Amino acid sequence: MGLRINDTVPDFTAETDQGTINFHDWIGNSWAILFSHPKDFTPVCTTEFGAVAQLADEWASRNTKVIGVSVDGVEEHKGWKGDIESYAGTGAGFPIIADEGLEVSKAFDMLPAEAYLPDGRTPADSATVRTVFIIGPDKQVKLSMTYPMNVGRNFAEVLRALDGLQTAARENVATPANWTPGGDVVIPTTVSDEDARAKYGDFTTHFPYLRTTRLPQ
């Protein structure tokens, strides 16, 4: 069974291109995004790492650390970083886990337990390692999404989802379809009209189970 929302993520010690980390200690009191890749020096993944690098200020402003994981080694990661930075036009300051033995990929249920990668491994051998996990400061999974090899991930959506998760946690609300920061939010059904009015002020009742309001800016 794969990791589900609100599961505590596995703790592990691993080598990265920036040294050894203990995952839970590395997260600390921050939010974290772990994004995985099937192999270094692959085209779609290079564009994705570049997109993550370009959003460095956005992650920092949201108290969020980002970390990659790929099934190649530290030296390959260091070499690949040069291509990523050249493509993105900016530095890539986040670490990349060297998951050569597949311990992390298996712990996060991105590969079958009996899986192994043959010598001369290709991206197809680890194609399922294409997942994003958003993790809260409590070390629990808040969101996960998995993509196929031929569709690049939309990190603007990852950022939007992160904003939604943080807003929901901070304000005790939910976010509707296509929500972006500043848009109306949904008042939980567990909150009475009286309590909603006291907490949120004016709100709109679309149906008894769907009430929306605008949070103060």
Q: Considering Cα of 40, then 43, then 47, then 48, what sign does the dihedral take?
A: negative
Q: How many residues appear in the chain?
A: 217
Residue 159, Cβ neighbours under 10 Å: how many? 19
**106: closest CA among 131, 123, 124, 76?**
131
3-class secondary structure, 94: coil
* Dist. CA 93–CA 65, nearest whole Å: 10
- Is 204 a residue of the active site? no
Q: Which of 32, 45, 67, 162 is catalytic?
A: 45
* Dist. CA 128–CA 36, nearest whole Å: 9
- The residues that are catalytic are 45
